[in-house]
Amino acid sequence: MSELTLKTGQEGTTAEQFRAYLSRLRAGDMGALPAVGALLVLVALFGSLSPYFLSLINFANLFVQAATLMMMAAALVFVILIGEIDLSAGVTAGTGMAIFVKLQIGGMNWILALALAFVLALATGWVIGTFVARIGVPSFVVSLAFYLAFPGVMLWILGDGGVLRLEVPEVSAIMNKNLPAWGGWVLLALCVVVTTLMGLWDRARRTKAKLPNRPIVFLFIKVAGLIVLGGATVALLNMNRSQSVIPGNEIMGVPLVIPFALVILFIATFTLDRTRFGRHLFAVGGNPEAARRAGIKVARIRITAFMVCSVLAMISGVFNVSRIGNVESAAGKSIVLSAVAAAVVGGVSLFGGRGRLAHAAIGAFVIAIIDNGLGLIGMSAGVNFVVTGSVLLIAATIDALARKRSGGSIART
């Protein structure tokens, strides 16, 4: 393979691209491949151990169950990419939802109340980012302070009962309603069109800048895979998954949360992959000093990353309160650790500068399948924690070994 083929990863024929991919695998750059492999193994394992795991109702439930964790993992990707962490993302979402429900019950318009919850998210992200980027306090310490403080704020908001019920049908519908059968196919068609147009746009941009492009067959393969997998998913979700034999009690259609999650992930992915902010974020995560010398405003990028993280975490909080129907004082305390596990399992490097939102989403499905499958075969919550912790340790070890093998340092700068 020529030296040119190795410069940007875009040069070369289809065969050369395939050989370059194998070279990256041998060098330890596996991306989401371990997560995809784990996903397939877990599906086969739990499918053989439980007759209910591969049922239509559980298939749909997995998407709903994974949505909250997926959004929280996507939130944390923005700070993990710069080599930081936000332990308070979950309780920030919980506090925001407590404010939202309390104000709505008190008579405020639910849209305005929800907007104020997102204002809290922006403010919290700005404060944490400022302490980290301007003052130099480690993100672990700052976010831990908020992690410890916000549950007290929630207790003050929720009162003696410690629980408030959600009474907003529009929000409850997100996790509990489904699209009509035709809506799933429209959603798939839109995904195919957007994927195709984005691929062609990327190629046009590179051609205009006189940069090489991968063979267009890779775009065809990507679109074909989306059509096959997406079509199968929509077809399965459009089947009646209700166990009732009474006419009119059918449950079918793509869960409403899926289009919400896809739109948000698309916007976030577009921001990371195709904007100046995204390029600067990766640069800061890869080498902060080099980014600073290149003229990138490192402190501003870090503060913005924490603000984006808090906003996406608040969306995860909306998904959570929609699903369970109430807000309690312990909301968000445990999900952030599972979200870190999901991101790392998906191939997002804890050392910063490497990872993709789509990979974190795959990692979230892995964690959700572990939780779902172990519950179906009757394992205790203790076993769930042990297995999830073990998967995280393995993923983090793979990340560290891959970084050493590729010549990167595991030391923070």
**pLDDT value at position 205?**
87
Decide if pLDDT at 392 tops 90: no
pLDDT in tens, 155-176: 899 887 778 898 889 999 999 9
**pLDDT at residue number 11:** 62
Q: Which residue has the higher pLDDT, 354 or 306?
A: 306
Query: Which residue(s) pair with 327 in the sheet?
Result: 164
E strands, 185-253, in order:
none
Query: Measured between alpha carbons, how far is residue 373 from residues 29, 203, 213, 251, 359 in Å?
Result: 29, 41, 42, 22, 21
Mean local confidence (pLDDT), 71-76: 95
Residue spans of beta strands (DSSP E) within 201-292: none
pLDDT of 131 strictly over 50: yes
Q: Flag whether pLDDT at 231 surpasses 60.
A: yes
The answer, yes or no, to whether residue 8 has pLDDT greater than 60, is no
Residue among 410, 291, 412, 387 at smallest CA distance from 45: 387
- Between residues 249 and 1, which one has the greater pLDDT? 249
Decide if pLDDT at 308 tops 90.
yes
pLDDT 10s digits, 337-356 = 889 989 988 888 887 778 88
Please give the average per-residue pLDDT across 255-274, as a whole number.
94
Q: Would you tell me which CATH number, out of the four given (1.10.10, 1.10.3470, 1.10.287, 2.40.160), belongs to the domain 31-177+255-404?
A: 1.10.3470
> What is the pLDDT confidence band of residue 10, given thresholds at 50, 70 and 90?
low
Sequence-separated contacts (24+) of 243-246 with Cβ below 8 Å = 243/57
- Compute the distance between CA of residue 232 and CA of residue 82 in angstroms, rounded to an integer: 37
**Reported pTM:** 0.89
More confident residue, 408 or 6: 408
Confidence of residue 409 (pLDDT cuts 50, 70, 90): very low
- Classify residue 134 by its DSSP letter: I
**What are the structure tokens assigned to 19, written together?**
């050989």
Q: In this predicted structure, what is the pLDDT of residue 351?
A: 79
Cα–Cα distances (Å) from 121 to 7, 86, 198, 270, 389, in that order, read 40, 12, 30, 21, 28
- CA proximity to 120, closest of 80, 140, 149: 149
Residue 211 has pLDDT above 50, yes or no: yes
Alpha helix segments (H runs only) across 27-55: 33-49
pLDDT grade for 245, boundaries at 50, 70 and 90: low
Count Cβ atoms within 10 A of the Cβ of residue 71 and give its class: 0-12 exposed, 13-18 middle, 19 or more buried: buried
pLDDT: which is higher, 288 or 248: 288
The DSSP line for 16-31 is HHHHHHHHHHHTT--T
